[in-house]
Amino acid sequence: RPDGIFAAVDLGASSGRVVVGRVGPGTLDPTEVHRFANEPVRLPSGLHWDVLGLYREVLRGLSAAAAHGPESVGIDSWAVDYGLLDADGALIGAPFHYRDTRTDTAARAVVAQIGATELYAANGLQYLPFNTIFQLAASRGTSAVRGARTLLLIPDLLGYWLTGERGAEITNASTTGLLDVAGRRWSAELAETVRLPRGLLPDLREPGDTVGPLLAEPRRATGLDGVPVVAVASHDTASAVLGVPAETAHFGYLSCGTWSLAGVELDAPVRTEAARAANFTNELGAEGTTRFLRNIMGLWLVQESLRTWGVEAGALPGLLAEAERAEPFAAVIDPDDPRFLPPGDMPARIAEFLRETGQRPPATRAALLRCVLESLALAHRSAIRSAARLSGHRVDVVHLVGGGARNTLLCQMTADALGLPVLAGPVEATAIGNLLVQARAAGQVGDRWAARGLVADAHRPRRFEPAGDARAWDAAARRIAAG
């Protein structure tokens, strides 16, 4: 068969893009046709996503994609967030942003009610205050939830606007905390715990399932005719891990963008007490896989520091070059301290953390960046090593994908801290993973290993060998553990 052409909509927490790619035996050539910022909006009700603006940009991107003649469209986005539809199928209010702070108390109450061990046994998720189950508990009894008939996760909501079809793609559904992770189905007990209106959660879809043909209005707006939406691994992290150019099963991954998602790919969830205590999550992937990983605060710390300083993202490479020359290990933070989760003055919060732990706050922006990157590299090391230990899965090499693959200083620090080779790239692994699921559904590629072989051929990753003084990293790790 000739190669297929597919369109991937990939919405990250900081930016979205539409990528068109030709995929077939020996072929993978993604091209970005549209990119846009994803900026949240603060309303009196809290922090929200501009989901209508995002939909407008999706339509623009798809109309740019139309010229390439794609045979299907797939959508992925960040996890956990959702829109609620009323009985007429209309969106109720603006979807909340997972960094909205309304959930903390409700999250703790749900854990106390179910029991941390029991909750982990059921849904396999690490405790993050914004897991959908906790967001819904926080919104319990609001008129939005009372009036809601259907909950749609963000990629499923956009898919619904394009096609009129409702459903819940399973990789993203596994981040809600409402899924029975071992049975791969919604858990009626968990839904009952947060008193979800019956029928709120739509039927599950698997990656590769057809969502449906475009409705007349999006067909007109985009110029795409006879092109269906296909469910992909719609959790961006699931797509990113599919798009890793791994050539051995003994790999760890770091999907490094707004978040760093660090872990291993397994055949089944690990829900031991040790995994729970280490705050490891079991998210579902394509082909029956489990992503056993930990969320690390990631480049969000850099993004918010730049925003606070009023520095354009374009200035980052220059600042990183200065950070490379700054004093090593002058200060370390725990990037996952909860104070860093909401938007705000990150340099001030970092300085506060350092003072509280008896360290001197950095005097320059470059020194602060160095502190953040070294701290992230230490967190990468801890998470990858714990993932291997807790799952028994050997890790010989770590693939780092996402925007962080452009940060060569972070890549080298991660290799040095771990004492393992880091293979960096592709930057757009998520969009590539999205294309690959569509190509598989169309019969253009085989399983994920065949697909990863295509990625490895098309995007040779950049290799960072561990170097430098391993004992300095051990000492820094002890410093942060001592708090």
Q: How far is the CB of 185 from ligand ADP (least distance, A)?
A: 29
- Judged by beta carbon, residue 123 or residue 295, the one nearer ligand LRH is 295
- Shortest distance, position 71 Cβ to ligand LRH, whole Å: 27
Residue 403 contacts which entry, ligand LRH, ligand ADP, none (Cβ below 5-8 A, type-dependent): ligand ADP
Which positions touch ligand ADP (CB under 6 A)?
Answer: 12-15, 257-258, 299, 302-303, 316-317, 320, 402-404, 406-407
Query: Which among ligand ADP, ligand LRH, none contacts residue 9 (Cβ within 5 to 8 A by kind)?
Result: none
Q: What is the DSSP string of 358-421?
A: T-PPPSSHHHHHHHHHHHHHHHHHHHHHHHHHHHT---SEEEEESGGGG-HHHHHHHHHHHTS-
CB of 233 to ligand LRH, least distance (A): 11
CB of 13 to ligand ADP, least distance (A): 5
Amino acid at 312: E
- Residue 250 CA to residue 167 CA, distance in Å, equals 34
DSSP 47-88: EE--HHHHHHHHHHHHHHHHTT--SEEEEEE-SS-EEEE-TT
Residues within the interface to ligand LRH (CB under 6 A)? 12-13, 78-80, 98, 235-237, 258-259, 261, 295
Spatial distance between the Cα atoms of 173 and 161, rounded to a whole number of angstroms: 19
Task: Report H helices in 210-339.
Answer: 216-222, 236-242, 273-277, 300-309, 316-325
Decide whether 154 or 316 has the Cβ nearer to ligand ADP: 316
User: In angstroms, rounded to a whole number, what is the distance separating the alpha carbons of residues 39 and 37?
Assistant: 6
State both tokens at 423.
Answer: 């293979």
Residue pair 118/276 in contact by the 8 Å Cβ criterion: no
Least distance (Å) between residue 241 CB and ligand LRH: 10
Closer CB to ligand ADP, 13 or 191, in the complex: 13
Tell me the three state secondary structure of residue 254: strand
What sign does the dihedral 33-10-167-39 (CA atoms) show? negative
Cβ density class 42-53: b for 16+ within 10 Å, e for less: eeeebbbbbbee
CA gap 13, 15 in Å, rounded: 6
Beta carbon nearer to ligand ADP, 187 or 281: 281
Contacts of 402 (CB under 8 A, 6+ apart): 240, 255, 256, 257, 427, 429, 430
Distance of CA 304 to the CA centre of its chain: 17
Q: Which run of H or E residues covers position 146?
A: helix 143-147
Closer residue to ligand ADP in complex, CB, 201/411 = 411
80 binds, among ligand ADP, ligand LRH, none (CB under 5 to 8 A by kind): ligand LRH
Nearer to ligand ADP, 141 or 314 (CB): 314
Q: How far is the CB of 295 from ligand LRH (least distance, A)?
A: 5
**Taking CB within 5 to 8 Å according to partner kind, which of ligand ADP, ligand LRH, none is near residue 295?**
ligand LRH
Residue 33 interacting partner from ligand ADP, ligand LRH, none (CB closer than 5 to 8 Å by kind):
none
Q: Which is nearer to ligand LRH, 153 or 378 (CB)?
A: 153
Task: Report what 237 binds from ligand LRH, ligand ADP, none; CB cut-off 5-8 Å by kind.
Answer: ligand LRH
Catalytic center residues: 236
